């Protein structure tokens, strides 16, 4: 990969083009995104998110950033934990996803301690040392330059603050790879076509998972961004992993 290009799924594209193409994907799938999450993961995404929130050790009064927070699943879990003295910023690059997230949260009477920000993970519009926790769920693989985004997450964390990365990862059971590939590249696009009317976006999402760094590589990139006490928790045979690191 040259300095001027990056990957969009299996396609090589100009780096300046990826953000708009990712944005178009999520503009397309926003309306059916939550239903597709349930169907694609057989509901397991709920357990993965709950585990990530537990690992985050959120305390009342904490200031949280839910980055690439989309339709607000993590924010809905975080807001009651930080309570009225704390706050959660739900941030996403996609306006359509943010609008859907805001609607869903208000419908659930989650308001008052939640704010919204449309922003790029590589250029966060927050002062240094703002948040006690930064969480990014299923969004890091869509970022053009992950190392820049991780450096930004480090910058906006307070000392002793924690980063949680919940993301699809690499299988730890090689015997499952053939079945996983069949599901990812045949079933998911077909499901996307039937439910969301968009097979191509779900084909991209499957490809983006394969292009995402494996567990040890991501830990190394977190180290380069400055994070200490890094660790990884594999979930569901490594289909998903939770990476954790601290700004000390």
How many Å apart are CA 8 and CA 144, to the nearest integer? Answer: 9
Among 234, 190, 237, 185, residue whose Cα is nearest residue 208: 185
* pLDDT over 50 (residue 1): no
Is this model's pTM higher than 0.75 or not? yes
* pLDDT over 80 (residue 2): no
pLDDT for res 4: 78
**pLDDT tens readout for residues 209-221:** 999 999 999 999 9
Residue with tokens 């959660």: 88
**pLDDT tens readout for residues 182-199:** 999 999 999 999 999 999
Residue boundaries of the structural domains of the chain: 19-247
Relative orientation angle of helices 199-211 and 15-29, to the nearest 10 degrees: 130
9 SS3 class: coil
Domain 19-247 has CATH 3.20.20.70: no
pLDDT for res 3: 58
Q: Which two tokens stand for residue 112?
A: 């008052």
Among 242, 239, 236, residue whose Cα is nearest residue 209: 239
**pLDDT tens readout for residues 134-145:** 999 999 999 999
**pLDDT tens readout for residues 73-130:** 999 999 999 999 999 999 999 999 999 999 999 999 999 999 999 999 999 999 999 9
Q: Which two tokens stand for residue 42?
A: 């057989």
**pLDDT tens readout for residues 22-58:** 999 999 999 999 999 999 999 999 999 999 999 999 9
């Amino acid at each position: 990969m040259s300095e001027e290009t990056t990957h969009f799924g299996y396609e090589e594209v100009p780096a300046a083009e990826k953000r708009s193409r990712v944005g178009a994907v999520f503009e397309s799938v926003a309306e059916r995104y939550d239903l597709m999450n349930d169907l694609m993961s057989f509901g397991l995404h709920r357990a993965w998110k709950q585990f990530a929130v537990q690992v985050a050790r959120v305390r009342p009064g904490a200031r949280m950033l839910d980055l690439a927070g989309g339709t607000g699943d993590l924010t809905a879990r975080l807001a009651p934990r930080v309570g009225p003295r704390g706050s959660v910023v739900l941030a996403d690059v996609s306006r359509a996803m943010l609008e859907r997230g805001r609607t869903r949260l208000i419908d659930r009477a989650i308001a008052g301690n939640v704010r919204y920000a449309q922003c790029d993970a590589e250029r966060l519009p927050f002062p240094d040392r703002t948040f006690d926790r930064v969480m990014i769920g299923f969004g890091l693989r869509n970022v053009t330059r992950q190392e820049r985004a991780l450096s930004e997450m480090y910058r906006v964390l307070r000392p002793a603050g924690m980063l949680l990365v919940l993301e699809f990862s690499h299988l730890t059971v090689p015997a499952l790879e053939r079945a996983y590939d069949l599901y990812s590249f045949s079933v998911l696009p077909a499901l996307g076509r039937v439910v969301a009317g968009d097979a191509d976006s779900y084909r991209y999402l499957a490809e983006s998972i394969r292009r995402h760094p494996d567990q040890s590589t991501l830990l190394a990139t977190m180290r380069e961004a400055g994070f200490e006490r890094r660790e990884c928790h594999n979930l569901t045979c490594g289909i998903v992993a939770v990476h954790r690191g601290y700004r000390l």
